[in-house]
C-alpha cells in the first residue's frame, strides 16, 4: 500500500502538470514513532523516511527502501512539474552561469621542494588536472587527471594529494559516492602506474614520512564516519597489517594530520569544539612513537607550527579568548616554557599566522574584516597591507618556503574577482599574479558594495555586507537575496562569486548578514551564537532583514533568504519565527531535525557537535534545542515560498532531515505558497562534484526567485 501511494502521487503530479492542471504535491504517510530520551517523548510521524547505509547500499532494496525512494522521487517529480515552465529559462541561466567561467583556466603555480605545482581546467571538462614542473625547466607534466578518474562515475571527489619527499610518488584519496569515505591510492610519478596499495574508508588525507615509503593516514569509523584512528602504512605491505599509531577514544573528538613547515614533524591533531590536543611524530623516525605536545584541557584550543628549532603556538590559554601567539624550544613543549610573541587583545581576533625565516605574518580580524600584519623578526617592526575597499576578504595563501621575503596571499571583494598576489615583505611591494577572469562582459565598475550595521533586539550591532548594480534606487522596490551561515565560529567573508552577477544584473541586491555564531567580531561573537545562546543567530538574521526593509533596500514582499547546512537550520528557524519577513526562502541541505539527530550518537558528526549545539540527553539543552528545532517547531501558519535542496548520500546532514521537514510543512502550513524539494540522488553534502554540473542547482535556485519576481529573462 505504501509503495502504491507514493508511486501514484508521483505519477499524478506529472499527469496533472501535462494536462495544464496545477500539480498536487505528494502526501507522505504518517506512521507515529515515539522518540524517547530521559523520560521525554516526542512523536515523529515521518521517522520511517530514515534508511541505514546498509539499506541504501543493498543490491536488493527492502520494502522500506522502496517506499522511501518512491517518496523522494515523487518530490523530485513534483518539483519538476512546478518549475517546468522555467525549464528554458533555467537552461539559459545555466549557460549564463557557465559562460562567465574561463574554461581553459589554471591556478598560479607555487614552488615546493624543487617543483612548481598548479592545477588546470580544460574546455568542456568538469574536473581539474594536477600539474607540476621541475624548477628550471619549461615543460609541465601531468600528475593526476581527475577527469579520467571520473569516467563512468556520477560523482567523483579527490582529496589530500600529497607528493613524497623524494618527489617520486603521489598519494591521494578518491570518493565516488559522496559520503566522504575516501580510498587512498598511490601513483608512481615516473612511470604513471598505480601501486597495488589501496586503503579504503579514510579521510582522503595522508602524510609522508621522510623515508618515502611510509604513509600516515586517518581511518574512519564505518558507522559514525568519525575520523578516529591514525594508521601507518608501509608501501608494498597489505593494508590489513597497518599499525595503529594513535586511536582517539573520546567519541567527541576527531583527528587529522599535518606536517610542520620545517618538514621535521608530523602532527596528529585531536580536536572538538572546545578542546584540542597535538601529538608529534618524528618524520624521520615514524615508528618511534608519538609525543603529546601539551595535554588536552577543556576549553584550551591550540595549534602548532615549527621552524628553525622553534615551535609557534596559536592558543587561547589563560583567558586569551581571541587567541595569542606563543613560542617555545622544540625540546621543551610544555606550557611552562611558552613565551609570548603576539599578546591577546580583546578587540582583535588572531585567526592564524605564517612563519618565515625573517618574518611573521599575522592573520587578524578587526571590526569584522580580515587584515594581514607583517612583522619583522629582526626588530619587531610591523605594518599592515592596505586593501583599499570598504568590505573585502583577504587571507594567507600557499607559502611552503620559509627562506623568502615573498608572501603569497589572496584577495577579493563583492565587486573584485578572486585575486592572487605576491607581496615582498622587505620592499613592501605587491605584484598581482592573477585575477580570475569573469567572462560575459563583466565590469567591476558597474557594481557598488557597502558595509552597514543593523541593530539587533538586544542592542548589538550586526555587520551587513551588500552589493548592487550602480543605478540602484533605495526605495524599497528592489528584490534582495540575504545570505548567512552563523555557526561553528565560521565567518562568512564578503568575497566574490561570479554567480551573483546574474542576480545583480536583474535588479537584485545581494547581502550577507554576519550574524552571531560566526567569528566576524571575535570569539565572543561565536560564543554568543551557540549552545544556550543559539537563538541569537536567528533573531540577528531577522533583525538584519527588518533593518534592510526599514532602510528601503528591499521590502518583505521582495526579500529572499538563503543558507546551507547549519545555515539551513537558520532558514528553518526564521521561517517558523517570522515568516512574514520573507517572500521566499532557499534552504540548502538544511540541518533541521536538531534534537533527534543530536540524540543519536550513531549518526555521523553527532558526538563531537554536542559542544556546538548542546547535548539533548541533558534536560536543559533538550528543552532549549527543542524550542528552535525547525522540524519540531513547524506550526499551522502561513510560510514563505520554499525551495529545499538535499543529497541522498549526504553524510553531513542526512537526506531524511529535509525530507521529513518538507512532509511536515505540507501537513501543517496554511498557505498556498510554493514548497518544493530537489533531491540529488547521486550526490552528498556539497552537491554535484563537477565544476559546471553543480551550477544546475544554482540555476534552479535563481529561477525559483526570478519566477516569483516575474522576471522571465
CATH number, domain with residue 563: 3.40.50.1820
Q: How confident is the model at residue 675 (pLDDT cuts 50, 70, 90)?
A: very high
Q: How confident is the model at residue 5 (pLDDT cuts 50, 70, 90)?
A: very low
Residue 629 annotated as catalytic: no
Residue with cell 518583505: 556
Residue 642 lies in a domain: yes
Closest C-alpha among 353, 355, 347, 274 to residue 316:
274
Taking the model in full, what pTM does it have? 0.90
> Residues 653-671: what's their mean pLDDT?
96
Q: Print the SS3 string covering 185-204.
A: EEEECCCCCEEEEEEEEEEE
Digit-coded pLDDT (tens) for 165-220? 999 999 999 998 877 889 999 999 999 999 999 999 899 999 999 999 999 999 98
**Beta-carbon count within 10 A of 382 CB:** 14
Q: Is-contact 70 76, C-beta < 8 A?
A: no
Number of domains in the chain: 1
Residue 623 lies in a domain: yes
pLDDT greater than 90 at residue 556: yes
Residue 413 annotated as catalytic: no
Residue 41 lies in a domain: no
73: enclosing H helix or E strand: helix 63-83
Task: Judge residue 505's burial from the number of C-beta atoms within 10 Å of its C-beta, 0-12 exposed, 13-18 middle, 19 or more buried.
Answer: middle
Q: How confident is the model at residue 12 (pLDDT cuts 50, 70, 90)?
A: very low
Q: What is the DSSP string of 541-585?
A: HHHHHHHHHHTTS--GGGEEEEEETHHHHHHHHHHHH-GGG-SEE
- What is the domain extent for residue 631? 446-709
**Residue 391 — φ and ψ, nearest 5°?**
-140, 130
Task: Judge residue 544's burial from the number of C-beta atoms within 10 Å of its C-beta, 0-12 exposed, 13-18 middle, 19 or more buried.
Answer: buried
Residue 376 lies in a domain: no
What is the rounded distance in angstroms from the CA atom of residue 595 to the CA atom of residue 621? Answer: 9
Q: What Cα–Cα distance (Å) separates residue 550 from each residue in 47, 465, 516, 616, 708? A: 41, 16, 21, 38, 22
60 or 607, which is more confident?
Answer: 60
Provide CB contacts within 8 A for 136, sequence distance 6+: none
Report the share of the chain in percent with pLDDT over 90.
85
Q: How confident is the model at residue 20 (pLDDT cuts 50, 70, 90)?
A: low
Residue 502 lies in a domain: yes
* Residue 256, all three cell numbers: 587529522
pLDDT on residue 686: 62
What is the rounded distance in angstroms from the CA atom of residue 53 to the CA atom of residue 649? Answer: 9
Residue 702 lies in a domain: yes
CA 343 to chain centre: 30
Which position among 164, 206, 303, 565 bears the catalytic label? 565
Residue 242 lies in a domain: no
Which position among 271, 465, 685, 707 bears the catalytic label? 685
Measured at the CA of 268, the angle between CA 267 and CA 272, to 5 degrees, comes to 130
Digit-coded pLDDT (tens) for 418-447? 999 999 999 999 999 999 999 999 999 999
Q: Is-contact 158 170, C-beta < 8 A?
A: no
Residue 171 lies in a domain: no
| Lowest model confidence (mean pLDDT) among 2-6, 611-615, 624-628 | 2-6
Strand partners, 324: 315
Which position among 363, 422, 540, 650 bears the catalytic label? 650
Residue 678 annotated as catalytic: no
Mean pLDDT of the chain, nearest integer: 93
Angle between helices 619-628 and 535-550 (to 10 degrees): 30
What is the rounded distance in angstroms from the CA atom of residue 613 to the CA atom of residue 629? Answer: 11
pLDDT on residue 684: 64
Amino acid at each position: 500500500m505504501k509503495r502504491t501511494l507514493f508511486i501514484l502521487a508521483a505519477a499524478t503530479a506529472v499527469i496533472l502538470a501535462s494536462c495544464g492542471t496545477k500539480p498536487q504535491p505528494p502526501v507522505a504517510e504518517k506512521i507515529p514513532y515515539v522518540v524517547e530520551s530521559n523520560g521525554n517523548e516526542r512523536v515523529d510521524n515521518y521517522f520511517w523516511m530514515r534508511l541505514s547505509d546498509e539499506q541504501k547500499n543493498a543490491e536488493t532494496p527492502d520494502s522500506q527502501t522502496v517506499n522511501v525512494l518512491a517518496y523522494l522521487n515523487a518530490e523530485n517529480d513534483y518539483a519538476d512539474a512546478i518549475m517546468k515552465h522555467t525549464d528554458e529559462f533555467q537552461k539559459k541561466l545555466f549557460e549564463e552561469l557557465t559562460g562567465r567561467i574561463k574554461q581553459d583556466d589554471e591556478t598560479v603555480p607555487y614552488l615546493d621542494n624543487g617543483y612548481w605545482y598548479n592545477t588546470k581546467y580544460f574546455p568542456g571538462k568538469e574536473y581539474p588536472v594536477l600539474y607540476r614542473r621541475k624548477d628550471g625547466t619549461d615543460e609541465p607534466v601531468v600528475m593526476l587527471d581527475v577527469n579520467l578518474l571520473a569516467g563512468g562515475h556520477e560523482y567523483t571527489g579527490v582529496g589530500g594529494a600529497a607528493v613524497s619527499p623524494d618527489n617520486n610518488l603521489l598519494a591521494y584519496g578518491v570518493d565516488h559516492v559522496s559520503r566522504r569515505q575516501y580510498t587512498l591510492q598511490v601513483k608512481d610519478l615516473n612511470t604513471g602506474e598505480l601501486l597495488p596499495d589501496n586503503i579504503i574508508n579514510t579521510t582522503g588525507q595522508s602524510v609522508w614520512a621522510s623515508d618515502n615509503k611510509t604513509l600516515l593516514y586517518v581511518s574512519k569509523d564505518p558507522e559514525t564516519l568519525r575520523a578516529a584512528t591514525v594508521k601507518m602504512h608501509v608501501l608494498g605491505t597489505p593494508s590489513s597489517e597497518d599499525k595503529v599509531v594513535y586511536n582517539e577514544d573520546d567519541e567527541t573528538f576527531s583527528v587529522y594530520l599535518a606536517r610542520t613547515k620545517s618538514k621535521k614533524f608530523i602532527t596528529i591533531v585531536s580536536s572538538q569544539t572546545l578542546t584540542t590536543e597535538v601529538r608529534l611524530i618524528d618524520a624521520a623516525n615514524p615508528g618511534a612513537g608519538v609525543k603529546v605536545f601539551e595535554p588536552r584541557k577543556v576549553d584550551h584550543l591550540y595549534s602548532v607550527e615549527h621552524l628553525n628549532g622553534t615551535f609557534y603556538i596559536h592558543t587561547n590559554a589563560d583567558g586569551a579568548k581571541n587567541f595569542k601567539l606563543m613560542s617555545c624550544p622544540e625540546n621543551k613543549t610544555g606550557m611552562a616554557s611558552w613565551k609570548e610573541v603576539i599578546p591577546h587583545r580583546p578587540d582583535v581576533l588572531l585567526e592564524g599566522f605564517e612563519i618565515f625565516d625573517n618574518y611573521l605574518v599575522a592573520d587578524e580580524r578587526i571590526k569584522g574584516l580580515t587584515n594581514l600584519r607583517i612583522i619583522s623578526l629582526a626588530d619587531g617592526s610591523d605594518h599592515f597591507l592596505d586593501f583599499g575597499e570598504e568590505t573585502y576578504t583577504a587571507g594567507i595563501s600557499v607559502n611552503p618556503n620559509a627562506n623568502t621575503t615573498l608572501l603569497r596571499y589572496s584577495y577579493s571583494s563583492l565587486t573584485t574577482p578572486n585575486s592572487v598576489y605576491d607581496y615582498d615583505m622587505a620592499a613592501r611591494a605587491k605584484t598581482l599574479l592573477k585575477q580570475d577572469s569573469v567572462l560575459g562582459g563583466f565590469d567591476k565598475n558597474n557594481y557598488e558594495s557597502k558595509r552597514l550595521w543593523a541593530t539587533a533586539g538586544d542592542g548589538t550591532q550586526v555587520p551587513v555586507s551588500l552589493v548592487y548594480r550602480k543605478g540602484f534606487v533605495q526605495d524599497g522596490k528592489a528584490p534582495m537575496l540575504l545570505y548567512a551561515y552563523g555557526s561553528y565560529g565560521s565567518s562568512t567573508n564578503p568575497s566574490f562569486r561570479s554567480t551573483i552577477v546574474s542576480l545583480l544584473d536583474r535588479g537584485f541586491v545581494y547581502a550577507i548578514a554576519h550574524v552571531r555564531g560566526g567569528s566576524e567580531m571575535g570569539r565572543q561573537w561565536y560564543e554568543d551564537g551557540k549552545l544556550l545562546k543559539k537563538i541569537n543567530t536567528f533573531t540577528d538574521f531577522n533583525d538584519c532583514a527588518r533593518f534592510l526593509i526599514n532602510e528601503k533596500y528591499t521590502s518583505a514582499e521582495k526579500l529572499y533568504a538563503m543558507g546551507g547546512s547549519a545555515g539551513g537550520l537558520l532558514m528553518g528557524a526564521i521561517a517558523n519565527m517570522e515568516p512574514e519577513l520573507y517572500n521566499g526562502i532557499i534552504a540548502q541541505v538544511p540541518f533541521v531535525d536538531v534534537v533527534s539527530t543530536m540524540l543519536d550518537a550513531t549518526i555521523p558528526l553527532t558526538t563531537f557537535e554536542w559542544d556546538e549545539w548542546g547535548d539533548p540527553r541533558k534536560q536543559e539543552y533538550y528543552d532549549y534545542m527543542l524550542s528552535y528545532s525547525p522540524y519540531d517547531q513547524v506550526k499551522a501558519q502561513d510560510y514563505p515560498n520554499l525551495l529545499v535542496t538535499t543529497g541522498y548520500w549526504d553524510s553531513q546532514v542526512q537526506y531524511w532531515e529535509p525530507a521529513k521537514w518538507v512532509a511536515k510543512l505540507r501537513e501543517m502550513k496554511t498557505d498556498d505558497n510554493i514548497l518544493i524539494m530537489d533531491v540529488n540522488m547521486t550526490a552528498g553534502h556539497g552537491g554535484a562534484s563537477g565544476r559546471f554540473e553543480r551550477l544546475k542547482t544554482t540555476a534552479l535556485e535563481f529561477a525559483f526567485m526570478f519566477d516569483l519576481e516575474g522576471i522571465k529573462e
